[in-house]
Amino acid sequence: MIRTNIQRLFIIFLNQKIVNNFIKYILRNAFRLRISWAWVLFYSIIIKVVKPKNGSVPLNKPTILALTPFRFRGDLNILSDSRQYRVLGLPDKWEVILLRVFWPSNISEIRSEQYYRTSGNDKDVRFQNNLRKSLKLFLLSLYSKLKVDCVISAGVHYETDIKLGLVSEEIGVPYIVFHREGIYMPRALEALENEYRNLGKFVGTHIVVHNEDIKATLIKSAFAGPDEVSVLGCLRMDNFIRRIQLSNINYCSTVLPNNKKVVTLFSFTHGSVAVGVNNAIRHFSKERNEGFIKLFEHVHASIAQLAIQNKDVEFVIKLKWGGEWAEEIECVLRKNNMDISKIKNLQIMIDIDAHDLILRSDIICGFSSTTLLESAIAGKPVIIPHFDEALKKEYTDLVEFKDSYHLFKVAYSVKEFEKLIVECLRNPIKISESQMNGRYAIFERYVSSMSGNTLGKYMEIVNNAIKT
């Protein structure tokens, strides 16, 4: 309780729009005079240990510090559960606070390429040189206290992670990126290449990606060299693949406490695959003039309508996060004269494990999502809505897996979407052996190996970096 209250007071103090210049002056000079023990002590307290499911934290193993830990989507738990590492996490807000003390107030506007520069006499260079000097002193003390052997990030483009990662490298602690984002179609890859090119040059030890497309894009952009990038797949797929291969329903967690059939929609946003390709498009469009606006409305309204018409079936809409996303769904249902609170067999779920949900479901629906491939290798009927904006020229080249639509059921209209779901409920689809082989192939191309040995490969990269 005391620790929590201290942290809250500290956040209130340092998160003001303009941090008191006098206090910043004192903190900066404390670092220059190497009087930073209190700051180091505080950060050693707010950095959290990722505890393994079984047993205590292995103190005699190498220590990994994860930057912006919420971005890893379970990977940190996998590393911790292996009991080969002591895994720590530094919350992103405390990264920003640390940088804000030494950086001007417009920290979010300063891009990485400026941070890399070490020569010149302009204001940005002077700021970044002072920042790096101070961070070196601080991180040397912090890493020594916590016995940090390696620093990891979940994305090559996370600005705050880049700044701490570069300084970590400079003081001899390897910085590795487990790049989480991996599925893009050709047109989206072109936009991604430009984004990587604008980042400058990778300054860490190594980058791990899920597939060859991302590796090729990183190399083509000149952000990283061929020897700096490894294609190892996705850590969190190992256990899922094992669960599928065991084919034992008792081994799979049950999401719903009854034996009703379950239809799951893995929800998508207005931006969906267009986010990042067109910077004007966001996850949810307030103006309702760009992105998959109609597709979002029609798909979610159809799921709700089917729930009303099929009360003996459980319908689930799975979101990645709540807030605005859930509000948008409620909005389109109200627009179609439906109140979600009155549809008892329709649930919106956020924090539930996606793999548990897939294995419990009888039918999976979704649009341009990795969950479609995960559902596919689990042998589930997968229904993809491909109508409204998905048919427009400006968006169709961004839609994922179009070349593999023969492996799924695809609806080209709202009516066909609803019809396919009803037909699958009445007469379950049997997936042919050739279709399953095709599903395995596309999963391995974009996501991970069906051999389920990804963890060992990641550990080899980390261990080699630490030994070097």
pLDDT at residue 393 in the model: 86
Number of H helices, E strands in the chain: 19, 13
pLDDT at residue 109 in the model: 46
Mean pLDDT by 10 residues, the chain (468 residues): 59 52 62 71 92 85 96 93 96 84 55 49 62 83 95 93 92 96 81 88 95 95 96 95 74 54 95 57 71 94 98 96 92 95 96 94 95 96 96 86 94 97 92 95 96 94 93
User: Edge-to-edge strands of the sheet including 175-178?
Assistant: 48-50, 86-90, 63-67, 148-153, 175-178, 206-209, 229-231
pLDDT at residue 337 in the model: 96
pLDDT at residue 110 in the model: 47
DSSP β-ladder status, 86-90 and 382-385: unpaired
pLDDT at residue 6 in the model: 58
User: What residue spans of 33-117 are helical by DSSP H?
Assistant: 37-46, 75-81, 92-102, 112-116
d(CA 4, CA 47): 13
Angle, vertex CA 167, rays to CA 176 and CA 63, nearest 5:
50
Angle, vertex CA 334, rays to CA 375 and CA 352, nearest 5:
30
Extract the runs of DSSP E, i.e. beta strands, from 324-459: 346-349, 363-366, 382-385, 409-411
pLDDT at residue 250 in the model: 43
3-state SS, residue 57 = coil
Amino acid of residue 247? S
pLDDT at residue 429 in the model: 84
pLDDT at residue 409 in the model: 96
b/e per residue, 114-144, with b = 16+ CB within 10 A? ebeeeeeeeeeeebbeebbebbebbbbbbbe
pLDDT at residue 24 in the model: 63
pLDDT at residue 156 in the model: 94
What contacts 306, CB < 8 A, 6 or more positions away?
Answer: 263, 313, 315, 418, 421, 422
Q: Is 312 left (phi over 0), alpha (psi -120 to 50) or beta?
A: alpha
Q: Which of 78, 58, 69, 60 is nearest to 456 (CA)?
A: 78
For helices 324-335 and 293-309, what crossing angle results, to 10°?
A: 70
Structure tokens at 97: 């606070």
Contact (CB, 8 A) for 465 and 455: no
Report CA dihedral (454, 457, 462, 463) to the nearest 10 degrees. 130
Burial class of residue 442, CB neighbours in 10 A (0-12, 13-18, 19+): middle
Backbone angles phi, psi at 52, to 5 degrees: -70, 155
Angle, vertex CA 11, rays to CA 8 and CA 13, nearest 5:
110
Structural domains in the chain, sorted by start: 2-234+453-467 (3.40.50), 249-446 (3.40.50.2000)
Helix H or strand E encompassing 262: strand 261-266
Contact (CB, 8 A) for 149 and 63: yes
What contacts 390, CB < 8 A, 6 or more positions away?
Answer: 292, 295, 367, 396, 399
Backbone angles phi, psi at 410, to 5 degrees: -120, 130
Angle, vertex CA 106, rays to CA 100 and CA 109, nearest 5:
115
User: What residue spans of 368-448 are helical by DSSP H?
Assistant: 370-377, 393-396, 414-426, 433-446
